[in-house]
Structure formats: structure tokens, C-alpha cells
Amino acid sequence: MIVCFDIGGTTMKGGYARAVEDINVLERVPTPGRDFDAFVGVLARAIADCPAPPRALAAAIPGIIEPGSGLGVVANVPCISGIPVRERLEAALGLPVALANDADCFALAEVAVGAGRGHRVVLGIILGTGVGGGLVIDGRLINAEGGFAGEWGHGPVAARLAGTPVVEIPRFRCGCGLSGCLDATVSARGMEALHRHLHGKEATSLAIVAGWEAGEAEPVRTIAIWLEIAAAPLAMLVNTTAADIIPVGGGLGGSTALIAALDAAVRPLTLRRFDRPLVVRAQCRVEPGLVGAAWLGFASL
């Protein structure tokens, strides 16, 4: 049995996994983000209450483990940032510990029980408040030892000109410190900034997508440009990684029509020609963080 956790900056949820498809989910509890001892205490209580002696603890975290140093980079949970978090947790808990970014765990969940089943190279992407992703090849997470692989949302690569007629796109400032990142341009908040730039009006991403689905002129213009900006980098990732399926999670991933439109925009741009959908909605809609963490934990044994 594996004790698994999905850790967020505000709350954390645990579970007991007998298998990836068999997880007993625990109640969500507040994350003690600034108190390492209290943080360990939450994990230790779950281990103590486990119905059978666990073999390991695995967790999805809202950050990354730096390759080489093993230091956590977890802004939303500062008590595990800047320390060799895996080593510290193993010493405190007396169990092997496996950790991965939450987007990586999302990708693993899609491999385990979602749209990635049966595919050799799976690029799971998040389109929500932020833009992220994880890469799994032959069932193995590329970031198994930590790192930034799959973080396609960061880097100043967003198109500066797009649309018909062509319009100039600002280099929106990103939370990572750069400008012109996809995270700041095609995330939910990026879609809202794009709509504001194009039309001088405030609207939520949900309202923009709903207006586009209804055929309203201004949202149709916004989404056409959004698709153009998002599709080219995704196609380049397909060419680079040989991904043969791209499950999409996050708030924007909930729109079947939007994901179908993104798929239609991406496929003509890839070197490999696909006669089936490439960009698809995620299928593991419930607790992907726990499912991915469980896969990670079992794979580490």
C-alpha cells in the first residue's frame, strides 16, 4: 500500500492506494505551508492511520524538485522550499518518499487511467489559471529525478502578431519574471488579457468561451487568436517529443468544443500526420493528483 497526497498551497488531500485504480480518498485538510514540523505531522498522521503498513509515501506538489541539488522550489508551500525536501521527509517519516510536480502527476494519471492509456509518449498539459505540463515516455516520468521538463508555459515565445486581420499582441508580464510567456497569454487569465487588449472589455475566460460557442463576434475573434498563439508551440512540442496524445486538464480543458478546436489547429502544423484526435480532453477527471502520485509511488518501489 502507498500513502499518497495531492498538496496545494491552501489545502492537501491524502489517500491510501492499494493500486492506482484503488484509492481510498481522505478528507482535505489545510496545508501548514510555513511550518515544516506541522507539515510532517499531517503526513505522519496519515501514515499512522493507514489500514496496512505502507511501503512508501508519494505526493504531487505545486512546485518542482531541482535536479542535482534535490532542493524544493515550492513558492506556495515555503516550508518545503529551499531544502532537500525528499531527504528531510524520508528522515522524518521513516519511509521512502517520491515527489513530483502536480502537472507531472496529472500526466501520469492520464497514462494510468485516462486518455494516455496505450500511448507510448504522452504530453499532458494544463490550461487553467496557469499553463503547465508533464511528459511521460514508456510509462516513465521524464522528471522522475526532478526538473522542469514539460513546463511549456514559460519562455518568451508567445506570438507577437496573430489573427486575420493581423493584430499586435503585447508581451504580457508572467509570474515567472519574464514577458511573453504562454502562461501569461494562453492561460485563463491570459485569455482574459487578450480579450481586454482586443476589445477593451473585461470578461472572464468562462464567459469568453461561452460567447465563442454561441458565435458572438468579439469572443470569436479572441478565441481565433488564442488558438493561433497556442497551436504553434504545441505543434513544435509534438515534433520535439514525438508525443502521440496530448490530454488537456485545467479549467479551459473542460470545454469539449475548445479542445476540439485546438486539436484542429495543432494537427496541420505537426510533421507527423494524425488521422485521429491528438489534443483531447483529459479522462481522469477525479483526483488526478492522487492517481498520479500513486503511480509515482508504485513505480519507485
Domains and CATH numbers, the chain: 2-105+286-300 (3.30.420.40), 117-281 (3.30.420.40)
pLDDT at 68 over 90: no
Alpha-carbon Rg of the chain, whole angstroms? 20
Summarised one tens digit per residue, pLDDT across range 259-268 is: 999 999 999 9
Q: What is the mean pLDDT of residues 261-276?
A: 97
The model's confidence at residue 301, banded by pLDDT at 50, 70 and 90, is: confident
User: Is 90 exceeded by the pLDDT of residue 212?
Assistant: yes
The grid coordinates listed for 295 are: 503511480
Model pTM score: 0.94
Tens of pLDDT along 125-167? 999 999 999 999 999 999 988 899 999 999 999 999 999 999 9
Return d(Cα 96, Cα 80) in angstroms, integer: 17
pLDDT tens-digit series, residues 1-54: 999 999 999 999 999 999 999 999 999 999 999 999 999 999 999 999 999 999
